[in-house]
Amino acid sequence: MVADFDESDESRRPRRRYRSRVRQERAERTRAHVIATAGRLFADHGYAGTSIRRIATEAGVGLETVTQTGRKADLLLAAFRTGLAGDPDAVDVTALVGGFPSGEADLAGALATATARLADGLRDSLGIWRAFTAAAMSDATVAAARAELAATRRREIATWLETFENAGVLPSRDATSRERLADTIGLLTSHDAYDHLVTVCGWPHGDFAPWATAAILDHLRRDSA
């Protein structure tokens, strides 16, 4: 016996998938809005001065919507990643990134491109980074997240260095020397360096990336001499 074909069943399937996609996109937009609102409040009022309820009120959403997005420490980290890398789920947020060139001229170009992009991220996330640093002094969860970011930065930059070593662009180093150089590069491209030079000393934003590029190249050349 052949079962009757019900056109209504088939016609509903695409609509279900469409509705599911629409719901997912709406949820993603809401999450991004909550994170952006949280980031603005953290930057303006600090971590302690920003409550989950205040985030919900400013975002125009229910308290449950905010808590479903994450704990306050999670929102702080997501807002920081968004400001620095443009992605609340970014892992590679502080590494110097670029291609894998075959000579020093290309290395200098890759560094210039990477530090210019990074400088914009440092500027856009500076307020949240200040809130992050202050919160880490009193909140163990935030302190742990900050420590993990620092460890991730060292791993990423060390991996970046090792890639150029394997390509023959940089001389080979032992693990300890590579980590020390990664720490130096991390300091030169940190929020603290940017904040000191641009905010405290009054450097134009556009001067930071060329300075960082020149300083990194100087260390790379000095280390290989």
pLDDT of residue 164: 82
- Domains along the chain with CATH numbers: 7-224 (1.10.357.10)
- The rounded Cα 167 to chain-centroid distance in angstroms is 27
Tell me what percent of the residues of the chain surpass a pLDDT of 90: 47
Using one digit for the tens of pLDDT, what is the confidence trace for 134-170? 999 999 989 998 898 888 888 888 888 888 888 888 8
Does the structure show a pLDDT above 90 at 51? Answer: yes
**Angle of CA points 188, 194, 197, to nearest 5°:** 100
Does the structure show a pLDDT above 70 at 223? Answer: no
pLDDT of residue 93: 45
**pLDDT band, very low/low/confident/very high, at 110 (cuts 50, 70, 90):** confident
Mean pLDDT of 4-31: 70
Using one digit for the tens of pLDDT, what is the confidence trace for 204-218? 999 999 999 999 999
pLDDT of residue 94: 47
121's enclosing H/E stretch is: helix 104-136
pLDDT of residue 213: 92
- The residue that leads in pLDDT, 2 or 120, is 120
C-alpha 138/C-alpha 97 separation (Å) is: 33
Mean pLDDT of 126-132: 92
**pLDDT band, very low/low/confident/very high, at 103 (cuts 50, 70, 90):** low
Q: In the 3-class helix/strand/coil scheme, how is 71-111 assigned residue by residue?
A: CHHHHHHHHHHHHHHCCCCCCCCCCCCCCCCCCHHHHHHHH
CB 98 within 8 Å of CB 163: no
pLDDT of residue 106: 74
**pLDDT band, very low/low/confident/very high, at 90 (cuts 50, 70, 90):** low
Predicted TM-score (pTM) above 0.75: yes
